[in-house]
Every structure is written in structure tokens, then in C-alpha cells.
Structure 1
Amino acid sequence: MNTDRLIAVLAADAAPVGPHVVEWRIASALSIAACGAVALLLLSYGVRADLAALVATPIFWAKLAFALTMAGAALVATARLSRPGVAVGRVWAALVVPAAIALPVALVVLWLAPRDARAALLLGNTWRTCSLNIALLSVPGLIAILAVVRSLAPTRLHLAGAMAGLFAGAIGTAAYCLRCPETSVPFWATWYLLGIAIPTLVGALVAKKALRW
């Protein structure tokens, strides 16, 4: 069988791909990540008893904006890394922006605070569990996002896996804002980022097997 004949046989049953298949699959992964994180939050921890009062405070929206901004940038980066030959481009800069804003603010808050209050601002009451809780809430999203990324034939596996983990971690962080009792900027700028870093690392580590197609 010559090459032209082989190509014709392989392409005989090929069907056209919808114009928005990538967007639909990423959207489905986003839905699973968000619903899974919220469901796991409700089943495992529940929301804050004073959530109604909390949503009236600027700090709640600052934390949520931090998580959602990172999730939005990670969503775009994940979609681009899921397709061969598509550059991530300026999205890399957008991924850095939330941390680039939160961390300097956290340092200023610590600098201006009395020396004996700095540890409490940084550690709060839940530093031992915060990052692990975020990592747990990211699990449904990480599984769904990795499955979708694999179906879109990525070629930069470790990078795509890391970005899928970051995406899931940011969604898990947004859900955790409904539970987290901490309001100090140094606290969440540190432990939220660490919580996001855990699924990011897991995504990169499992990418070679999870994303091979």
C-alpha cells in the first residue's frame, strides 16, 4: 500500500470537528471543577455561619477576585496548551498579576504591623489546614480538566498538566473563600498560593501518563 492510499484509508471515516469544540470541552471541565469544589466544600466543611455578613466586606471580594482572576488566566492558558502549536502568549503575564499584587500588599501590611502581631497576621488560626483544604477541593476539577486536556491532544505535557492543576487549584480556592475564616492579606496571599501550588505540582508530575494520547 502506498502512502497516498494509506492516508486515504485513514481519513475515510474522519468527521469534521465543530468550530467551538475546544471551548465547549473547557467549559464542561470548568463546570465540573466549580460544582465539584462547592459540593465537596458543603459535604466536608460547610460554609461560614456569618457568610451573609462576610460578603458585605471588601476583603471577601478581594480574596475572591484573587482566585477568580488566576482561574480565568489559567483557563485561557490551559485551552492554548491543549492544542499543538498554539502559543500561550501574554497570558503568562496575566497569571502573575494576582500574586504580583497580593504579595507586595501582604509585605506592606506585615511591615506596618507591630512586631508582635506579625505572626498572627501570617499564620492566623488555620495555616496548618488551609492549603491542604484548597488542594482537596481542587481534586474533582483536576481530574476533569486533565481528561479534557488529554482529549485535545496536547504536546507540551508537563506544562499543560501544571496549568490544568493551577486552573483546578484556583477554582478550589474560590470555593474555599466561602469557608475560610481568615481575612488577613498576609495569610491568604501566602497559604492560598501554596494551596494552588499543590495541584499545580501534582498536575505536572502526572502529566506524562495522564495526558499521553
Structure 2
Amino acid sequence: MNRVPNSLIDELASDLAPVKPIRLWDGIALVALSAVTTVILVELLDGLWRGIVQGRASGIFFMANGMFAVVGAAAALAVVRMASPSVGNRQDGARWSAGMLALLPISAALMLGMTGLFSAVSSDIYGLHCFLAGTGFGLVTAAALILWLRRGAPVSLGAAGTLTGLAAGAIGTFAYGLACPIDTIEHLAIWHTAPVALLAVVGRYVVPPLVRW
């Protein structure tokens, strides 16, 4: 059979170039590097709390910051996977871990009551600083995940943006939490959880235009 020449196909094929494959472990390494970089920045700018290794941190300190670390890791892994869409690629782990994190402010409200919680939050002179610091440090992870998504082909851009913000807020507030000596449940439940919620909402609307392909 004689082949029919097609100049349009030849023209399109001439522009093709090999693309480096996206590997899951490369994305995980990028997130890990951004998290370590964030902790180093916290140490350089604010100094990590030495009370952690001196036995002065309470149980709620480790529980709350452990939650932030788990949420950040689960959400970041979901985002890394979303850069390479495939059948059955779900984000249940990130959703469940985010639901787990919601127990922190709920528990604080149940323990103190809404009036007591509002009074504790309004009198916390360090709360706003922790909120701003956690949000700011979260931008390091956000930038890393956005760069990763731009390399891939995420399908659900809204979900990718929300999870990017969720991961960034959780890792940022976890990193700064290592420098914050205030370990009361009301402080951690409000001022350290707020960056996670804020960046998740911001990510939903800001990230999609940056990674649309």
C-alpha cells in the first residue's frame, strides 16, 4: 500500500521533542526538600524552641503538630500524584487527614465553650504573629507544588489548588510550630490551624490559573 503524504502531519511531528518523564519519587523529594528548607528558615529567622528536647513541651503540643505534619504529608502526596493523572487516582488520605485536623478546634470549643474560647483567643497577644508566620512559611511548599503541577497535567485543577493550599498551610504551620512555645489547646486550635484553612481556600482560586495547561 502506498502511503499518502500529509504535509500537516509532517509539520506537527517536526515540532515534537522528548519530555522528561514525571516520577513520583522526584515529587516526593521536592516536597521533602521544601519542608526541610522551611524548618531551616524558621530556625534562622525565629529559632526553634529548645523546650521540645528539654521535656517542657506538653502532650497537646506533640499531638497538634503531629496532626499538621500528617495533613501536610497526605495533601502533598495527593498533589504530587495529581500531576500524573490516572484511573483510580484518589485523594481519600488527604480528605480524611483534613477531617482529623478539624477535631482540634472542635475539641477546643467543647472543652472551653464558645465564650471561653473567644475570650482565650482575643487575649492571645501572640496569636496573630503565629497565624501570619505559619501562612508565610507555607508559601515555600506552595511554590514547590505549583512548579511540580506545571510539569505535569493535572485534570481537576480546583481540587489540585485546594490540596496545594492545604499541604502548604499544614507544612508551614508545622514548621513554625517548632518555634512556638505556646502549647495551649486554644492557641494551637485557632492560630495554628487558621493558616491551613486560609491557604486551602486561597489555593482553590489562585493555583488553577498558574498551572492550567
Question: Does TM, scored on the shorter chain, surpass 0.5?
Answer: yes
Q: CA deviation at 1:41?
A: 0.8
Whole-angstrom distance in 2 between the partners of 1:79 and 1:116:
40
Give per-residue Cα distances to partners, 1:169-206, cap 9 Å, x unaligned: 11112111211122121221122221112332332232
- Report the AA paired with residue 47 of structure 2: G
For 2:156, the equivalent position in structure 1 comes to 156
For 1:109, the equivalent position in structure 2 comes to 111
Does structure 2 retain, via aligned residues, the 8 Å contact 1:122–1:184?
A: no
Whole-angstrom distance in 2 between the partners of 1:189 and 1:159:
24
For 2:35, the equivalent position in structure 1 comes to 34
Does structure 1 retain, via aligned residues, the 8 Å contact 2:104–2:189?
A: yes
CA radius of gyration, larger in? 2
Does structure 2 retain, via aligned residues, the 8 Å contact 1:33–1:168?
A: no
For 2:191, the equivalent position in structure 1 comes to 191
- Report the AA paired with residue 13 of structure 2: V
Whole-angstrom distance in 2 between the partners of 1:16 and 1:44:
37
- Report the AA paired with residue 95 of structure 1: S
Instruction: Assess, with a 3 A threshold, how the Cα gap between structure 1 residues 32 and 117 changes in structure 2: closer, same or farther.
Output: closer
1:64 matched to 2:68? The reply is no
Give per-residue Cα distances to partners, 1:47-100, cap 9 Å, x unaligned: 224332356532221122111121122123213332335542523542333224
Q: Which residues in structure 2 correspond to 1:131-150 (within 5 Å)?
A: 131-150=131-150
Q: CA deviation at 1:147?
A: 0.1
For 1:98, the equivalent position in structure 2 comes to 100
Does structure 2 retain, via aligned residues, the 8 Å contact 1:161–1:206?
A: yes
**From 7, 13, 23, the counterpart of 1:9:** 13
Secondary structure (helix, strand or coil) at the match of 2:191 reads helix
Q: CA deviation at 1:33?
A: 2.0
For 1:77, the equivalent position in structure 2 comes to 78
Whole-angstrom distance in 2 between the partners of 1:193 and 1:7:
53
Q: CA deviation at 1:148?
A: 0.6
Q: CA deviation at 1:13?
A: 5.2
Give per-residue Cα distances to partners, 1:131-163, cap 9 Å, x unaligned: 111011112111111101111211222321221
Secondary structure (helix, strand or coil) at the match of 1:47 reads coil
Instruction: Assess, with a 3 A threshold, how the Cα gap between structure 1 residues 10 and 89 changes in structure 2: closer, same or farther.
Output: farther
Secondary structure (helix, strand or coil) at the match of 2:49 reads coil
Count of matched residue positions in the alignment of Structure 1 and Structure 2: 208
Instruction: Assess, with a 3 A threshold, how the Cα gap between structure 1 residues 208 and 31 changes in structure 2: closer, same or farther.
Output: same
Structure 2 unmatched runs, 5+: none
For 1:22, the equivalent position in structure 2 comes to 23
Whole-angstrom distance in 1 between the partners of 2:27 and 2:151:
11
Moved more, 185-194 or 146-155: 185-194
Q: CA deviation at 1:16?
A: 8.0
For 1:88, the equivalent position in structure 2 comes to 90
- Structure 1 outlier segments of 4+, above 6 Å: 115-118
- Report the AA paired with residue 162 of structure 1: T
Does structure 2 retain, via aligned residues, the 8 Å contact 1:141–1:168?
A: yes
Does structure 2 retain, via aligned residues, the 8 Å contact 1:122–1:187?
A: no
Structure 1 unmatched runs, 5+: none
CA RMSD of aligned residues (A): 3.1
Instruction: Assess, with a 3 A threshold, how the Cα gap between structure 1 residues 139 and 89 changes in structure 2: closer, same or farther.
Output: closer
1:176 matched to 2:176? The reply is yes
- Report the AA paired with residue 91 of structure 1: G
